[in-house]
Amino acid sequence: MKGFFSALWGNLSGLPGNLRRGLRPGVAEGGNSAAGRLRRSFAYHLHPLRVTRRALRASTTLGLGVVSLTAFLILGVTGVLLMIYYQPGTSDAYASMQDIQYAVAMGSFVRALHRWAAYAMLVSILLHLLRVASMGAYRGRELNWLVGLGLGGLALGLAFTGYLLPWDQRSYWAVRVSASMLDSVPLLGLAVKNLMLGGQTVGQAALLRFYMLHVAMLPAGMLALIAVHLWRIRRDGGLAGAPEDGEDSELLPAWPHLVLREALLMLWVLVVLAAVAALVSAPLGAPVDVHVPANPEKAPWYFLWAQELVSYSARLGAFVIPALLALGLVGLPFLDREDEGVGRWFGTRNCRLAVLLSGLGAIAALALFEVFYMQAGPGVFFKALGTVWPDVVNPGAGMIVVAILAMLTTGIATDSTRAAFLSGLVVMLIMLLGFTLIGVCRGPDWVFYWPWEEWPGVV
């Protein structure tokens, strides 16, 4: 008994030190220096202990990965708040959205912050992907490139499933027209549509499935892939590319140089998105009327390029071009094995020149194709081709040809696979951006109107 009380008193006497050592593991090994604190903290799993000066420059990465992660975290917090009031039923969803928008304290702000953070995440992920591709930063990081593509796909899924949840006229018909594009996908199109909607129509089954995907399955997948993505960045040695001759290769501790920069950027992203949400409310359309379709019926803006392509050719827009894009992005790090210029914007000088010329040529080609197509119209010059011509003679098919020509020309001129692939990629990117802008300008009956032109019947 005496030994027990003696041991107990000794443990109580040493309680402050035991707490300090137990709650701060690694102090003995790492000491209390900045590097030691980083080594035993969560930040150690996200960063190497030291980074180069080049990694700290804003022009190197533009902070796009941090922006994407911050937007995702904002989506998580605001999404949980919205779940408190939202009811995923066709008879209750719109009413609950009205309560959030007009009755719940700060509800309109939280909903707007959720909406704009979602859009910011989509844009920043796209720009991050393009930044990595333009620098050839996938070299030696093939697995993480595929993980990043998976994150991009899940982000699109999050945006698409969330688009239906307001259950207003705009979201209902947008999801319906997007789902209808799957009808043109061979073999798996109808099966995927049935799985996604729980049938052939957008109804209660579709709303419940979209809700579960949006609040549970897709976020869980995002969290898992984000963890793998960040871990692989650290395991792969941080940023791709070695310092060039004459460039400062000094290593600096990640704390405070990198960690504080990231924290400041995250704060700025939050402030900017909060300001936008306070000034611009997220729109809530009229209640759903399943008997009166919207005119025009438009997919969400991030799928407008596909809808515009479908208006030329269903097979081309719903299957061929998306499949080519997916295969090209997946195969990029395995087909480009060059090490020169890795970690630099568009690599070498010849590569930059080729990409610039390809981009200018793509803009000119897209403008010519669209003017010719809109002036000629379906069936004017191509009646002799019968039902085949929409799939082979349209702006989308023309831009694919331009992308192939850009790749071949650049590859022959520069002897560089990276320059060739980047030239083809920039043509495809301009095609997607161009068709998205054209889709934005589509009015009733999918007729093109300039932004300053009024639609028929609009006073």
Tens of pLDDT along 359-372?
Answer: 999 999 999 998 88
Q: Specify whether the CB–CB gap between 99 and 91 falls below 8 A.
A: no
Exposed/middle/buried for residue 405 (C-beta within 10 Å: 0-12, 13-18, 19+): middle
- Mean pLDDT confidence for 242-256: 67
Nearest to 46 by CA among 251, 242, 262: 262
Whether pLDDT at 459 is above 50: no
Rank 53-62, 180-189, 221-230 by mean pLDDT and report only the highest: 221-230
Number of other residues whose CB lies within 10 A of the CB of residue 385: 13
Nearest to 305 by CA among 126, 401, 431, 187: 431
Rank 94-98, 169-173, 413-417 by mean pLDDT and report only the highest: 94-98
DSSP assignments along 131-192, one per residue: HHHHTTTTTT-HHHHHHHHHHHHHHHHHHHHHHHTT-BHHHHHHHHHHHHGGGGSTTTHHHH
Whether pLDDT at 12 is above 80: no
Mark 265-287 as b/e (b = at least 16 C-beta within 10 Å). bbeebbeebbebbeeeebebbee
Judge if pTM exceeds 0.75.
Answer: yes
Please tell me the predicted confidence (pLDDT) of residue 211: 95
Q: Specify whether the CB–CB gap between 270 and 70 falls below 8 A.
A: yes
Question: 163-204: per-residue pLDDT in tens?
Answer: 999 999 888 988 888 888 887 777 787 888 888 888 888 889
**Backbone dihedral angles phi then psi of residue 448, each to the nearest 5 degrees:** -80, 130
Distances (CA, A) of 157 to 196, 212, 353: 11, 12, 36
Distances (CA, A) of 159 to 4, 71, 90, 163: 61, 12, 19, 6
- Mean pLDDT confidence for 429-451: 91
Tokens 């980074």 belong to 51
Q: What is the 3-state secondary structure (H, E, C) of 241-309?
A: CCCCCCCCCCEEEHHHHHHHHHHHHHHHHHHHHHHHHHHCCCCCCCECCCCCCCCCCCCCHHHHHHHHH
Please tell me the predicted confidence (pLDDT) of residue 258: 81
Residue 1 CA neighbour count, 13 Å, CB half: 0
Q: Specify whether the CB–CB gap between 161 and 203 falls below 8 A.
A: no
**Backbone dihedral angles phi then psi of residue 94, each to the nearest 5 degrees:** -65, -40
Please tell me the predicted confidence (pLDDT) of residue 362: 95
Tokens 């702006």 belong to 395
Domains, in order of start, for the chain: 54-240+247-289 (1.20.810.10), 295-459 (no CATH)
Whether pLDDT at 246 is above 80: no
Q: What kind and span of H or E run contains 37?
A: helix 34-39
Percent of the chain surpassing pLDDT 90? 41
Radius of gyration of the chain (CA): 26
